[in-house]
A and B are shown apart, each in its own frame.
Chain A
C-alpha cells in the first residue's frame, strides 16, 4: 500500500501532466487555426514579389495573378461614369495603377499615351487607375475632392486619351497590395494577366508586354 506522501506526489504529478497536455493541445490547435487562416488569406489575396533573375540583373516582378483572370472591378471615371474591366473583354488592356504624387508615374505617362495610340487600332487600350488617396479617411470629402482635382488637372495637361478611373485603393488587395507605384498589369483579350511590371522601367519594356498581351 502506498504511503500518503507517495500517493500525494502521484496525484500532483498526474495533475501537472494533464495540465501540460491541455497546454500542448491548445498550442497545436491555435497553430493549426492560424495556419489555415493564413492559407485562406493567401489564397484570397493576390501577391507579388520580385524574383531574382537566375542570369542576374534587375529583379523581375512576378505576380500570383500571372496566367489568371484579372480581378474584376467597377470604378468611376472623372465624370462619375462607371467603368468596368469586363467591358474591355476582347481587347488587350494595360491596367496602370498610378498617382499624381508619384514622379516615376508621371514620367511614364507620355510613353503610355504614345503606345496606346500606336496599338489602339489592333485592339489595345490603357486603363489608368488612380490610387491617389492612400492615407485619406473616407469621410475626408475635401481631401478626396482635392485629389480628384489634381488628377483632372494632370489628365487635361497631358491630354490623356484613355479612361482614368478613381479610387484604385479599393481594389489594391485584389491586385497584390500595390505597395509600389507605378504598377502595371497586362491583360490579354480573354481577360488573363500575361505580364506585370512595378516601378519605372522603359518604354521598350512596356511595349514588349503590350505585344505579349496582343498576341497571347
Chain B
C-alpha cells in the first residue's frame, strides 16, 4: 500500500515535470523583444461560404480589413509604378471570375511631400466579385495581391489567399 502510494506520487511528479518540459516547446527560446509587432497588413473577413445558381453570374461581396496605420494602393493607383490591388481566381477551380468591381480609392497625401497624392484603401473595403460556377461544391482559393505602406515606409507586395466555399446548384 505504501509502495503503491509512492509510485503514484512519483508518477504524478513525472507527469507534472513532463507538462512543464513540454511547455518549453511552445514558448520561443529567447526571442528578442521587438518594438514593432509583425502584423498581416490585409485580412480577408467574410464570407467563407456562398450559395449561387450554377451557370448563372452571381455577385459576391468580398470583405477585407487593412491593419490600422497602413494603406494599400487602390485598384487604380495614380502612378503606373505603384502596384494595384487585384483579385483573381485561379483556373480549374470550377468557379470563373467574370469581373471584379473595386471600390474607389481615397486620395491621400504623403506627410513628407504633400504634393505626392496616392489613391489608396484604408480600414475596411469590399470587392464585388462577379462569378459563374459549375454545379457542385467548390473550395475556391482566390488571390488578393496588394502592396501596403504607412506614411514613411513600405512592405513588399504580397498575395493572400481568399478561401471561399462556393455551393452551386
Contact yes or no, A104 B18, CB < 8 A? no
* Contact present for A135 and B158 (CB under 8 Å): yes
Asked if B30 lies at the interface with its beta carbon under 8 angstroms from chain A, I say: yes
Chain B residues contacting A49 (CB-CB under 8 Å) are 32-36
Contact residues of B between 137 and 169, Cβ < 8 Å to A: 145, 147, 149, 151-159
- CB closest chain-B residue, reference A153: B81
Main secondary structure of the interface of A (DSSP, over half): helix
| Residue of B14, B35, B38, B118 touching A51 (CB-CB under 8 A) | B35
Complex Cα gap A16–B108 (Å):
66
A88 CB → nearest B CB, Å = 25
Q: How large is the interface on B (under 10, 10 to 19, 20 to 34, 35 or more residues)?
A: 35 or more
A16, A34, A105, A180: the one within 8 Å of B155 (CB) = A180
> Do residues B152 and A199 form an inter-chain contact, with CB atoms below 8 A?
yes
Chain A interface residue count, Cβ-Cβ cutoff 8 angstroms: 47
Q: How far is the CB of A40 from chain B (nearest CB, A)?
A: 11
Contact with B along A186-213 (1 / 0, CB 8 A): 0000000000001111000000000000
Pair B81/A30 contact, Cβ less than 8 Å: no
Check B118–A103 contact: CB distance below 8 A.
Answer: yes
Evaluate contact between A179 and B35: CB separation under 8 angstroms.
Answer: no
Expressed in whole angstroms, the Cα–Cα distance for A50 and B37 within the complex equals: 10
Q: Is the CB of A100 within 8 A of B116?
A: no
B82 beta carbon closer than 8 Å to chain A: yes
> Could you give, for residues 105-136 of chain A, a 1 whenever the CB lies within 8 Å of some chain B CB and a 0 otherwise?
11100000000000000000000000100110
Residue contacts A-B, CB under 8 angstroms, 22 given:
A27-B18, A31-B29, A35-B30, A38-B30, A38-B31, A50-B34, A50-B35, A59-B35, A59-B36, A101-B157, A103-B154, A104-B110, A107-B112, A107-B116, A135-B145, A135-B156, A180-B154, A180-B155, A181-B156, A199-B153, A200-B151, A201-B152
> Which chain A residues have a beta carbon within 8 Å of chain B's beta carbons?
6, 9-10, 13-14, 16-17, 20-21, 23-24, 27-28, 30-31, 34-35, 38-39, 47, 49-52, 59, 99-107, 131, 134-135, 150, 154, 179-182, 198-201
